Amino acid sequence: MRLLVVGSVALDSVRTPFGEVKNALGGSAVYAAYSASFFTSVDLVGVAGEDFPSEYLKLLKERSIDLTGLQIKKGKTFSWSGEYASNLNQCQTLSTCLNLFKSFRPEVPPKYSDDKFAFLGNIDPELQLMVYRQLKNPHLLAADSMNFWIERKKKQLVNLLKYIDLFLLNDGETRDFSNEYNLRKAAKYVLSLGPKIFVVKKGEHGVIAFLKNGSFFSLPAYPLKIIADPTGAGDVFGGALMGYLARCPKLNKTSIYQGIIWGSIMASYNVEAFSLNRLLTLKDKDLKKRYQEFKKIGGRSSSVEHQLPKLDRRVQFPSPAPN
Query: Rule CB under 6 A: is residue 171 a binding residue for ligand AMP?
Result: no
Nearer to ligand AMP, 2 or 201 (CB): 201
Check residue 28 for interaction with ligand AMP (CB under 6 A).
yes
Measured from the CB atom, the residue of 69 and 234 that comes closer to ligand AMP is: 234
Closest CA to 158 of 178, 184, 137: 178
**By CB under 6 A, what part of segment 67-96 binds ligand AMP?**
80, 96
Instruction: Confirm or reject binding of residue 123 to ligand AMP (CB under 6 A).
Output: yes
* 198 vs 248, beta carbon nearer ligand AMP: 198
Instruction: Quote the least distance from Cβ 211 to ligand AMP, whole Å.
Output: 23
Indicate which single residue of 37, 122, 255, 268 sits in contact with ligand AMP (rule: CB under 6 A): 122
The region of 25-33, 64-72, 220-228, 285-293 touching ligand AMP under the rule CB under 6 A is 25-33
**Helix residue spans in the chain (DSSP H):** 28-36, 54-62, 125-134, 147-152, 154-160, 171-178, 183-192, 233-246, 253-270, 277-280, 284-297, 303-307, 313-316
Q: Do 236 and 32 meet the contact criterion of CB atoms below 8 Å apart?
A: yes
Choose which of 67, 157, 233, 304 interacts with ligand AMP (CB under 6 A): 233
Q: Count of residues for the chain?
A: 323
- Using the contact rule CB under 6 A, the part of the chain among 7-15, 43-51, 183-191, 298-306 near ligand AMP is 7-15
CB of 125 to ligand AMP, least distance (A): 10
Cα separation of 322 and 63, whole Å?
11
Q: Work out whether 234 is an interface residue with ligand AMP (CB under 6 A).
A: yes
**Count of positions on this chain that bind ligand AMP (CB under 6 A):** 17
- Cα 85–Cα 87–Cα 90 angle in degrees, nearest 5: 85
Residue 159, class by beta-carbon neighbours within 10 Å (0-12 exposed, 13-18 middle, 19+ buried)? middle
We find the least distance from the C-beta atom of residue 110 to ligand AMP, in angstroms, to be 26
Secondary structure (DSSP) of 15-79: EETTEEEEEEEE-HHHHHHHHHTTTS-EEEEEEEETTS-HHHHHHHHHTT-EEEEEEEESSPPEE
CB of 80 to ligand AMP, least distance (A): 4
Contact status: 10 vs ligand AMP (CB under 6 A): yes
Residue selected from 112, 235, 248, 318 as contacting ligand AMP according to rule CB under 6 A: 235
Nearest to 142 by CA among 20, 224, 225, 243: 243
Asked if residue 232 binds ligand AMP (CB under 6 A), the reply is yes
Q: Does 40 bind ligand AMP (CB under 6 A)?
A: no
Whole-number Å distance between alpha carbons of 221 and 215: 20
d(CA 321, CA 41): 5
* Residues at the interface with ligand AMP (CB under 6 A): 8, 10, 12, 26-28, 80, 96, 122-123, 146, 148, 231-235
